[in-house]
Chain A
Amino acid sequence: MAIKIGVLAKQVIDPEMPMAAFRIDESSKKVVPPNIPPVVNGFDENAVEAALLIKDAQEATVTVISTGTEFALDVMKKPLSMGADELVLLQDDIFENTIDSFLTAQLLVAAIRKLGGFDLIICGRQASDWDNAQVPLGVAELLGMASISLGKKVDVIGGKVRVERIIPDGYEVVEASLPSLVTVSNELGQPRYPTLRGIMAATRKKPTIWSSADLDLDSSQSSSRITLRDLFVPVSDQDCEIIEGEDPADSGRLLALRLREDKVI
């Protein structure tokens, strides 16, 4: 039987944008979207890749689910052009305050249930906007399933998921019975590039778009868990002393002398 894989992916402001372009609107406590297109969160592209690697080896379907207020369709179709089968977009103004992971996880769980559940859910370790690293583990907790985080290799063998997960001094191999949730990190490796055939297929595919009204939510659990009080850009007051010799080699020599002189070494 085909393994049903769900991938949670988020559209984010391109984290590679020039730092000078990073600005915050103080009154709305929001990052001002830069004049460049958004991207699929990098770790979530790793999650798509992990799902497709499983699909390369055995029969599997890959459904990508995303939450947001507004989607750039050509951006969010990238996982489809890489080889995913379906795209489900949960589009609602409720996601304006995505720092509240509880709300996001609840809506994702409702959508996952409406889709009939998955054998394996794969997510990026964290999103490059709020760096919260909570939604995947929250989804696992709400669904009562095992979660294995920081995977760099994910295999499905005999009804179990087997994950090489990163630990500070190496990695450990962890197993769990399906259904389970796994988060992956950049160590998984470069996500594949979309093929021309993939891009053509993705163009023809229509995403399923649901709002919170389409989902079965427990209203008793809808109160907020986290409030954003302030958002600001930290100021660095560091004055850098540029050590300048006659040439770069001389600068290197003078640097050593200065570090000694200032008792840094």
Chain B
Amino acid sequence: MADGTGVLILGDTTGGELGSTTLELLAAGQKIASELGEQLSVALLGDTLDVPAQQAISHGAQKVYAVNHPLLAKFQIDFHLSALEALSKEVGPRIILVARTNEGRDLAPRLAFRLGVGLAQDCLEVSIDSDSKTLMANRPVYGGNAIAVVSCDQTPQIAAIRPKAYEPAEEDSSRTGEVVSFPVELNESLALTQVVDTVIEEAEGIKLEDARIVISGGRGLGGPEPFAHLEELAKLMGGTVGASRAAVDSGWVPSSYQVGLTGKTITPDLYIMVAISGASQHMAGCSGSKVIVAINKDAEANIFKEARYGVVGDWETVLPALTTALKELT
């Protein structure tokens, strides 16, 4: 395997600031760059990069490649791929880290294939094998039933890191670093896809990913109406409502409610799961919760192996009693 050097992070600059997933990549990147004894750099693509470049440095980047182009202002995969291909070939990193966000899940595989290398997808943890300087990545497979440890056989070694798998890097404004401008040539004709409309249908209130308290309902609720009880409890506790894939597939709530492997990843302080069996593919999206509470009438349900507190009983009885008691406490 041809050697590259250093760790290159693909940064997110949406909204003019460094995105939270980039801060998480910086935490992962600092760890592996120091294990390697090599440089940690960040690639920023966009049209206003001064602020995020300084944020990257104060969060641990030693070097920032600023790829400034008006066509990079919004995410368009073909423009971003073209710029990253040129940058990667010029810089020659040993390792590239990408966040497995909505954009990253398209970008990372296409970048790996374009560069002719492998991608460790959806990683929970990355480390360096000190002898071979190889990146070792832990990733959930089989719907979260198993963990695979994989390594990339070609350089650059690319890993897509699951959002919230790492705590964000700490800020230290005394840090210094270098910002290097990397010019790219792009033109409109590169774009193979066009977004013609965007429809926002997320529920009002706190975003599921940001909520400190989440109450989710599953197949056992039996229909859309019981979600009103969950909404009531969520409102009372200052939380928000989520759902299992079974509830979404049944059409009871929109897909933006879905927690799990193919839905949202949440890390609330308190996660109350109502009538959800706790299949691995659901747990894959909520295993970072601090405290899980399960309410399920099936005492054998898998969720009682994952939860901190459990109540075995029908939600129709347990939930109103819980809600009433909470009202009295507040």
Which A residues fall within an 8 A CB radius of B? 13, 15, 19, 22, 24, 31, 99-102, 105, 125-126, 128-134, 137-138, 140-142, 145-149, 152, 162, 166-177, 180, 185-187, 190, 221, 223-234, 236, 238, 240-244, 247-253, 255-260, 264-265
Contact yes or no, A259 B293, CB < 8 A: yes
Contact yes or no, A170 B199, CB < 8 A: yes
Contact yes or no, B305 A169, CB < 8 A: no
| Among candidates B113, B116, B329, residue contacting A256 with C-beta atoms closer than 8 Å | B329
A15-B142, A234-B147, A240-B304 as given contacts; A100 in contact with B192, CB under 8 Å: no
Contact yes or no, A256 B322, CB < 8 A: yes
Tell me if B149 is interfacial: C-beta within 8 Å of chain A.
Answer: yes
Q: State the CA gap A248–B315 with chains docked (Å).
A: 9
Contact yes or no, A172 B110, CB < 8 A: no
Contact yes or no, B141 A131, CB < 8 A: yes
Contact yes or no, B321 A249, CB < 8 A: yes
Which 7 residue pairs across A and B have the least CB separation, nearest first?
A: A248-B313, A225-B118, A252-B321, A146-B192, A256-B325, A141-B113, A230-B149
Tell me if B187 is interfacial: C-beta within 8 Å of chain A.
Answer: no
Distance to closest chain B CB from A233 (angstroms): 5
Distance to closest chain A CB from B309 (angstroms): 5
**Which residues of chain B have C-beta atoms less than 8 A from A169's C-beta?**
200-202, 207, 256
| Among candidates B136, B142, B245, residue contacting A31 with C-beta atoms closer than 8 Å | B142
Which B residues fall within an 8 A CB radius of A? 77-78, 102, 105-106, 109-110, 112-114, 116-122, 136, 140-143, 145-154, 192-202, 207, 209, 213, 237, 245, 248-249, 255-256, 261-262, 264, 269-270, 279-281, 291-295, 302, 304-314, 317-322, 324-326, 329
Contact yes or no, A241 B310, CB < 8 A: yes
Contact yes or no, A31 B110, CB < 8 A: no
**Most chain B CB within a 10 A radius of its CB, from A102, A131, A186, A260:** A131
30 contacts between A and B (CB under 8 A): A15-B142, A19-B280, A99-B141, A100-B118, A129-B141, A131-B140, A131-B141, A133-B109, A134-B119, A134-B121, A138-B109, A138-B112, A146-B78, A148-B193, A170-B199, A170-B200, A170-B201, A176-B192, A177-B192, A186-B249, A229-B136, A229-B150, A231-B148, A233-B146, A243-B310, A248-B311, A249-B317, A252-B313, A252-B318, A255-B318
**Which residues of chain B have C-beta atoms less than 8 A from A15's C-beta?**
142-143, 281
**Which residues of chain A have C-beta atoms less than 8 A from B295's C-beta?**
252, 255
Contact yes or no, A170 B202, CB < 8 A: yes
Residue of B nearest to A238 (CB): B306
Distance to closest chain B CB from A221 (angstroms): 7
Residue of A nearest to B114 (CB): A141
Q: State the CA gap A221–B118 with chains docked (Å).
A: 12
Distance to closest chain B CB from A100 (angstroms): 7
Q: State the CA gap A150–B262 with chains docked (Å).
A: 10
Residue of A nearest to B283 (CB): A236
13 further contact pairs, Cβ within 8 A, besides A230-B149, A249-B317: A133-B105, A152-B255, A167-B198, A169-B200, A185-B255, A186-B249, A240-B308, A248-B317, A250-B321, A252-B313, A255-B318, A256-B325, A256-B326
A101-B109, A167-B198, A226-B120 as given contacts; A125 in contact with B307, CB under 8 Å: no
A226-B151, A255-B322 as given contacts; A174 in contact with B196, CB under 8 Å: yes
**Which residues of chain A have C-beta atoms less than 8 A from B105's C-beta?**
133, 149
**Which residues of chain B have C-beta atoms less than 8 A from A258's C-beta?**
309
Contact yes or no, A171 B199, CB < 8 A: yes
**Which residues of chain B have C-beta atoms less than 8 A from A22's C-beta?**
142, 145-146
Distance to closest chain B CB from A176 (angstroms): 5
Contact yes or no, A227 B196, CB < 8 A: no
**Which residues of chain B have C-beta atoms less than 8 A from A167's C-beta?**
102, 198
